A and B are shown apart, each in its own frame.
Chain A
Amino acid sequence: EVQLVESGGGLVQPGGSLRLSCAASGFTFSGYAMSWVRQAPGKGLEWVSYISSSSSTIHYADSMRGRFTISRDNAKNSLYLQMNSLRAEDTAVYYCARGTYCSGGTCLLDYWGQGTLVTVSS
């Protein structure tokens, strides 16, 4: 059974940093691209970042480029999102999702984790 479990969310002050993790199991993690998608409270889905299976290709949404860094450790079956210079508008549930049928950095997202809440507030 495919499982994705996010962790690392919490309350952080504006300008602060946070590192999210996503532990994957039930599939060959190294064979799949992964993405982060976020959802602000009461709002829709917003794609954050993509990383290919070998980490050779990485993409970010414009509003996060330069502040967020996606990475993965295939030996540990883990995906990460380092978030710096956080703003109030980054408050959201952050989901990791497995990518399949990928085309140039964009994927169908077939499995999603339960998400981890990041709250940016003073």
Chain B
Amino acid sequence: DIVMTQSPDSLAVSLGERATINCKSSQSVLYNSNNKNYLAWYQQKPGQPPKLLIYWASTRESGVPDRFSGSGSGTDFTLTISSLQAEDVAVYYCQQYYSTPPGFGQGTKLEIK
């Protein structure tokens, strides 16, 4: 099974500042035949289901603000929020959809400093 590990577990950032969350997979999630990384990021606000933010490691889902960006390849990935807004307070999860079982990271709780 591919194990997903996020860092840090929690993060406090001032409004308007940059927030960076890391995700590392125990095996590469890059599919060589199509050169795509099978890595997604989800945002979960309190009392709500997860919401898809980013897929293929760097493609923003429709409607997601452009302050959210994803990067990385192979085993190391990053979610960046360029200018933190109050509504971005949430727990963020990475997920690999390269192989079964589809593993999630443990989550990173993002708060306002």
Contacts and interface: CB of A to CB of B under 8 A. Distances in A.
A109 B95 contact: yes
B49 A103 contact: no
A103 B104 contact: no
Interface in B82-110: 93, 95-107
B50 interface: yes
A41 interface: no
B93 A112 contact: no
A76 to B, nearest CB: 22
Interface string B20-38: 0000000000010000001
Interface residues of B, number: 26
Contacts of A114: 48-49
Given A44-B104, A45-B104, A112 B99 contact: no
Contacts of A110: 52, 55, 61
Given A113-B49, A114-B49, A107 B97 contact: yes
A44 B40 contact: no
A109 B12 CA distance: 28
A101 B97 contact: yes
Contacts of B107: 44-45
A46 interface: yes
Contacts of B67: none
Contact of A107 (B93, B102, B106): B102
A112 B100 contact: no
A44 B97 contact: no
Given A44-B104, A101-B55, A108 B97 contact: yes
Interface string A55-94: 0000101100000000000000000000000000000000
A104 B95 CA distance: 15
B104 A47 contact: yes
B93 to A, nearest CB: 6
